Amino acid sequence: MSVNRCYRRVKFLHRVVDEVKRMNLLKSLFLLMIMVTSTTTATAGNGESSAIDDLNARWVNVFLQGDTEALLGMYTDSAIMLPPSSEILSDHQAIKGYWDNLKRVGVTDYVVYPVDLRIVGNIAYQSALWKATRITPDGNVIQFDGNISNVLEKQSDGSWKINLQSWN
C-alpha cells in the first residue's frame, strides 16, 4: 500500500475517532470494534509485525514503570516527537523531560490499541488508538484518549526503534 493511501486511511481513521468522541455513548463500542476487526499487515511478514508488537508492549510497560532512561532506548538517536500542544522535541533530553513530566503529573495507566501497520523495507508506519488515566494530587481521576502515529526504523541488529512519533 502506498504511503499516500496509508496517510489517507490514517486521516480517515482520525476523522472517525473525532466523530466517535463527540458521541460518547458509542465510544466504548467503537474501541471494541477496532480491537476485534483491526488487522496488522506487514510486507516483510509476521516476524516483523511481531517484533513491532513486542516493542509496543515493552514501551507501555517501561512507561508505566517510570523508567524514562529505558524508554529513550526505544527511540532512534535522531528521533522527533510531536506531542499535542507542545513544541517539537528533537533530542533525547527533551523527550525524556516530556515523559518524566507526564509521570510527575500523575499519569498512571496507558493502553494502546493498534489499528494499522505497514512495513516498507526498513521503515514501518503504524497508527493506533490510545487511552490513559491521570490521577490529580487531590484524587480526581481524568480519562483521556486519542490516536497516535509512529514511524519506526529497523536497526542494523534487526530491532525496531521509534524515529517519529505524533499523537493527539
- Residue-wise pLDDT for 92-140, tens only, equals 999 999 999 988 888 889 999 999 999 999 999 999 999 999 999 999 9
- Report the candidate in 66, 67, 95, 72 with the shortest Cα–Cα distance to residue 82: 95
Domain extents for the chain? 3-167
Residues in the chain: 168
- Residue-wise pLDDT for 33-87, tens only, equals 444 444 444 444 568 888 999 999 999 999 999 999 999 999 999 999 999 988 9
pLDDT of residue 90 exceeding 90, the answer is: yes
What mean pLDDT comes out for the span 15-22? 57
In CATH, what is the architecture of 3-167? Roll (3.10)
60's CB contacts (< 8 A; 6+ apart) are 110, 111, 112
Q: The whole model's pTM is what?
A: 0.72
What mean pLDDT comes out for the span 87-91? 94
pLDDT of residue 24 exceeding 80, the answer is: no
